[in-house]
Structure 1
């Protein structure tokens, strides 16, 4: 029997449980992140352990940050403290488990630090945009790059990400982040800022927890919208792909964006370039060889001749209603997991 550490009742846990039951396996045991934070949990001897996202639970977020108060809905706060708390909690699970973790904590620690993840990919020959670490708006501006993506080092789901362009006498910034009464919030829509003072204030607020800055990689368009790919690599093979399209530089689907025409994009790219892109995604996931699965975000340049990896996500497999040969991501992961466990 597998153990899932997650948020009880969350759809991620429910979907994985359904896949395990459909495979004829016993229902997973579920351990809540709240219990892990409290140190009040147990894992059955020898049970393989799946670490699920601790997101979308305000109390878990507060506990991981070690904060006195919960964050307001959408508030971006304490990202570095959250990261430290999350990795510490995952280490508690690791120490309690005698079976394998489907995502080792060492892998989590790198994937949830965009600076370290980018460096690992680059060192191992995976194409990524040029990048550097920063903490202030002035550091970003001093780099002299005309267009950049500014990313919180420990952010997720595009929270706090800023697509920033510098002109001669003006700037342009697209982001879902917004200041409100001196606090910073992530909203479900993309704002366009042209006031440098506002942008600098947002960047500096995020910079307190560390920033990863990348040279802007121009994205290809299809059917009049920019796009990138979320590719879920399972057991070393690119398994499920979704096209994410947008009218702004930010393509995350929860920001009001839309899934694109996979067959149409694949045809436009061409089979040779498509195969090369998926192979790049597999090489990116292979940088985390202990992880059963990873979500890789891949960008094509206009004309499709070049591509680069933007992110590698430990919890990037939530793609509802996306079936490949009748299997969703969770079913494919269960099929890959149990032979691995038996063989081990």
Structure 2
């Protein structure tokens, strides 16, 4: 087997992602990928990458030890500490890039860093003309948030930690005279600390909402207009669309009875055929074009996952997030008639790496 057909993966050894990617390599008759442990990267240990191999950077999630190296000691489920996480994560990305040498990187480390900063990602998409929910000016706490909402004439917003993922700390906030409601997965413990949970809850006291926003604010916030989502069968939905080598290859409908559609928060996979019928052929084609346009903002990344909102009015799409590690969709095969038909997200990436030109890294 030639070095050109070998993969090295920066991942959590034994994690689900590493296992699925290894299975995709075996399915192509390739050797088992060599795994570089994220923990070694974060500790500053010397790492080596064989020249000429494909280098894939995967998520550092799935492991408490890795989380501690990123966030520092404490409960890994706490919603605070994302700024420290981001600083450690991007330092790790720089070490990986320095060690890559003549390896062919499948994701540009600088682009991954942008995708993990919601403010920078939103700005990049906006500059490229990709439709996104309007953003409010930067806020540093609850009082300033309410001022910015009033100035923008917004009574419904999403408050997002700038460096969060998997809906960590996200708050769907709506206000009206004498009323307030914040929907979030952040739960407050007996000591007043907020932690992520798998149950979405509501806070309807301004004191509690202010405490949550003020707890998140020191790590940086990104605030967007809350665009009402379209619904099917009484459940709102959005789409996670995986784009590989510039083409939308996989799509999953995520439905929910609350504003967050993440599958780990009680969301459920919906009927893609029903969504396509709702949008019509031209609407579906435009939705996929927007996903491709969002991916084109990150030309050094072989794969990105795009979270696409479909508006309740006029069905207009908008990009809510672009995810560097948005391919964990077990059992999902490619869109019929597309370049990944019959392949899962990992097999599609292996095939694309072997048959297309390597991404042009922009770091």
Smaller-chain TM-score bracket: over 0.9
**2:316 corresponds to:** 306
Q: How does 1:1-344 map to 2 (within 5 A)?
A: 1-38=6-43, 39-65=45-71, 67=72, 69=73, 71-98=74-101, 99-132=103-136, 133-143=138-148, 144=150, 145-180=154-189, 181-324=191-334, 325-340=341-356
Q: Displacement of 1:41 after TM fit?
A: 2.3
Q: TM-score scaled to structure 2, two decimals?
A: 0.91
My pick for the range that moved more, 229-238 or 20-29, is 20-29
Q: Displacement of 1:303 after TM fit?
A: 4.2
2:111 & 2:358 partners in 1: Cα distance? 22
Q: Displacement of 1:192 after TM fit?
A: 1.0
1:288-328 CA-partner distances (Å, limit 9, x unpaired):
00000000000111144311110000000110111123210
1:57 & 1:29 partners in 2: Cα distance? 19
1:21 & 1:87 partners in 2: Cα distance? 30
1:48-94 CA-partner distances (Å, limit 9, x unpaired):
210000012122122123x2x2x325222310011011010111011
Q: TM-score scaled to structure 1, two decimals?
A: 0.96
RMSD: 1.4
Partner of 1:131: helix, strand, or coil?
A: coil
Alpha-carbon contact 1:164-1:172 (below 8 Å) kept: yes
My pick for the range that moved more, 126-135 or 266-275, is 126-135
Partner of 1:188: helix, strand, or coil?
A: strand
1:253 & 1:7 partners in 2: Cα distance? 22
Partner of 2:46: helix, strand, or coil?
A: coil
Structure 1: tracts of 5 or more residues without a match: none
My pick for the range that moved more, 19-28 or 277-286, is 19-28
Structure 2: tracts of 5 or more residues without a match: 1-5, 335-340
